[in-house]
Amino acid sequence: MIEWANTIVQGILTGGLYAMFASGLAIIFGVMRLVNITHGDLIVLAAFIAMVVIETTGFNPFLSLIIVLPIMFVIGYMLQRGILNYTLGDDLLPPLLVTFGLSIVIQNVLLEVFSADSQRLKAGAIETSSIQLVDGLSIGIFPLITLVTAIAMIVGLQQLFNLTRLGRAFRATSDDATTAQLMGINHRHIFGLAMGLALGLVAIAGVLMAVRSNFDPSIGPTKLLYAFEAVIIGGLGSLWGTLVGGIILGVAQNIGAKIDPGWQILAGHIAFLIVLVFKPNGLFPRTRDD
Amino acid sequence: MSVLEIENMTAFYSDFQALFGVSLNIKKGETVAAIGANGAGKSTFLRSITGLVKNNADTFLYNGETLTGKVASDIVGLGIAMVPEGRKLFPSLSVEENLIIGAYQQRPGNWTLDRVYQMFPKLEQRKDIAGTALSGGEQQMVAIGRALMSNPDMLLCDELSLGLAPIIIKDIYSALPSIKAEGVSLLVVEQDINQALEIADRIYCFQEGRISLTGKPEDLTKDQIATAYFGISYD
């Protein structure tokens, strides 16, 4: 019994990381209606940038974020204003194709610069320390930090979207970019900021992922898949939904692995398909009047 | 002295030419109505002024400053606001948020949330619900309030009466004099000719992307207007 409890608790903690992957994707889709195929590769890019920062400065991975996060923000803003804004329109295909192309470019540039070697960021004792709740059930400090960070991120994003001038501009532009311009909102700039914000989240997710597991230039698409599944389970456009989606995915994977180690990934996909069959719009779909 | 001066404006929707050399001027505090049948180019003209539709003009000046090449979000900052056709409230925003977003550029002036609520008391009672959950008339009030929140010197109104019951239209139009009293110039696009003649100092009649008639309402005969509006004479 305690073993199963442990499996579920570890799954919930894993879900924190998936929610983090997913929240950036949810913002990009929510504000720009853009399906970002390159999301997973940007997570890996953030991890490599953190690796370089750590090697250069000697910072620990958490501290490296004070450099990595602004870099990713600027990359996001420039990517949106320089390339992605030109792909937006009534047709969903151009942004899909362009981000797919970008995904291939990023993977190959990373491969060229960093080789195919597997890497890992080292955070010291925190990686392995844990709190024992009862006999047979412990919570790792680092996975706990990841989950708490994911929750804090979602709370922060909710506040930003609901209570600030910028948040209102994000929502208005997402509803109707043309009418938003009549309010004096420069929609291209707002889209740039939204992508910058999303890649800021990607920076945090990338660093936490890189401490938790090995990474190499080719793993982006797998991360993208988890992010997609979490977003869709949660219901497109709902931030709390992405957390629930991430947790469902994490728990399903851990239960799968418990039954048979080979079933870990498959169990996550099966949970995703089950949700799709019964709730095609996800668990918390955003209701819209238009 | 004209606040808005436009000479020979043309505009296209890809290959389709919607405006053919339209000239118009508006003086400070003046109310001008643009009338004309569906597809005559009135809305395109308003959208061109706001920068939403690309256009060319020999002269396109607002307070002496050229608007040619300016993007829509900058033009709002210069003091031109628009109440778009069909209200176009933001579904994700509450009534109050819809109003607040109108003040996004934080242009200084007399219009505040309180003053908009004073003008349309119904809105204050319903400020926390989604803007799109309101009735058509109330939505139109939000759309007007939202435009005023940008503290404009010129307000462009596109088809305020569209889809509304006559009694509601009266309500909506009764708000215009107090806006005018602030010194705001009004350019009102309206298919309802009687409504337009009632409020306007001058009218411009649009026909197939051109101005077919212009003048003060009291100087124009019904027949002149009908000819300019439909392109045919009564007789």
Partners of residue A172 in chain B, C-beta under 8 Å? 90, 92-93, 101
Question: How far is residue B49's CA from residue B55's CA, in Å, rounded to a whole number?
Answer: 9
| The pLDDT of residue B220 | 85
Question: How far is residue A10's CA from residue A250's CA, in Å, rounded to a whole number?
Answer: 8
Q: CA angle, corner B107, sides to B103 and B109, nearest 5?
A: 100
Averages of pLDDT over runs of 10 residues in chain A (290 residues) are 90 95 94 94 98 96 97 98 94 94 97 96 90 88 95 96 95 95 96 98 97 96 94 87 95 95 93 93 67
| The pLDDT of residue B112 | 93
A91 lies within 8 A of chain B by CB = no
**Residue of chain A nearest B156, judged by CA positions:** A182
Contacts of residue B185, Cβ cutoff 8 Å, sequence gap at least 6? B3, B4, B26, B27, B28, B29, B30, B31, B32, B153, B154, B155
Q: What are B25's strand-pairing partners? A: B5
Question: Domain map of chain A by residue range?
Answer: 2-117+124-278
Interface test with B, best of A179, A189, A286, A290 (most B CBs within 10 A): A179
Write the pLDDT tens digit of every residue in B3-18: 999 999 999 988 899 9
| The pLDDT of residue A278 | 93
Give A280 to chain B, closest Cα distance, Å: 22
User: What tokens were used for A67?
Assistant: 């450099």
Question: How far is residue A250's CA from residue B200's CA, in Å, rounded to a whole number?
Answer: 65
Give B147 to chain A, closest Cα distance, Å: 8
- The DSSP secondary-structure symbol of A131 reads E
Contacts of residue A137, Cβ cutoff 8 Å, sequence gap at least 6? A2, A5, A6, A9
| The pLDDT of residue B235 | 54
Which alpha helices (H) appear in chain A, and where do they start and end?
Answer: 2-32, 39-57, 61-82, 93-114, 141-163, 165-175, 177-182, 187-212, 220-234, 239-259, 264-278
Contact A181 B101 (CB under 8 A): no
Amino acid letter for position B69: G
Query: Which of B52, B130, B147 lies closest to A181 in CB terms?
Result: B52
| The pLDDT of residue B196 | 87
Quick check: B63 and B78 in contact, CB under 8 A?
A: yes
The single residue listed with the structure tokens 């938790």 is: A212
Contact B104 A184 (CB under 8 A): yes
Question: How far is residue A245's CA from residue A182's CA, in Å, rounded to a whole number?
Answer: 36
Amino acid letter for position A67: I
Of A7 and B230, the one with more pLDDT: A7
Contact B73 A175 (CB under 8 A): no
Query: Which of B52, B76, B97 lies closest to A184 in CB terms?
Result: B76
**Residue of chain B nearest A188, judged by CA positions:** B73
Question: How far is residue B83's CA from residue B50's CA, in Å, rounded to a whole number?
Answer: 11
* Domain hosting residue B16, numbered range: 2-230
CATH number of the structural domain spanning residue B177: 3.40.50.300
User: What tokens were used for B3?
Assistant: 């606040």
Write the pLDDT tens digit of every residue in B133-180: 999 999 999 999 999 999 999 999 999 988 888 888 988 898 898 899
Residue B226: pLDDT over 60: yes
**The total number of structural domains that make up chain B:** 1
User: What tokens were used for A205?
Assistant: 């997710």
DSSP-derived pairing of the beta strands B154-158 and B185-189 = parallel
Contact B132 A168 (CB under 8 A): no
Question: How far is residue B224's CA from residue B151's CA, in Å, rounded to a whole number?
Answer: 37
Amino acid letter for position A203: A
Amino acid letter for position B211: I
| The pLDDT of residue A289 | 36
- What average pLDDT does range B48-76 have in this prediction? 93
Question: By three-state DSSP, how is residue B177 classified?
Answer: helix
Structural domain includes residue B235: no
| Region label for B86, one of left (φ > 0), alpha (ψ between -120 and 50) or beta (otherwise) | left
| The pLDDT of residue A290 | 36
| The pLDDT of residue A12 | 96
Handedness of CA B93, B96, B99, B103 (dihedral sign): negative
Contacts of residue A25, Cβ cutoff 8 Å, sequence gap at least 6? A36, A39, A198, A224, A227, A228, A231, A242
- What average pLDDT does range B75-93 have in this prediction? 94
| The pLDDT of residue A288 | 46
Write the pLDDT tens digit of every residue in B108-135: 999 999 999 999 999 999 999 999 999 9
Q: What dotted CATH number matches A2-117+124-278?
A: 1.10.3470
A175 lies within 8 A of chain B by CB = yes
Quick check: A264 and A253 in contact, CB under 8 A?
A: yes
Give A187 to chain B, closest Cα distance, Å: 8
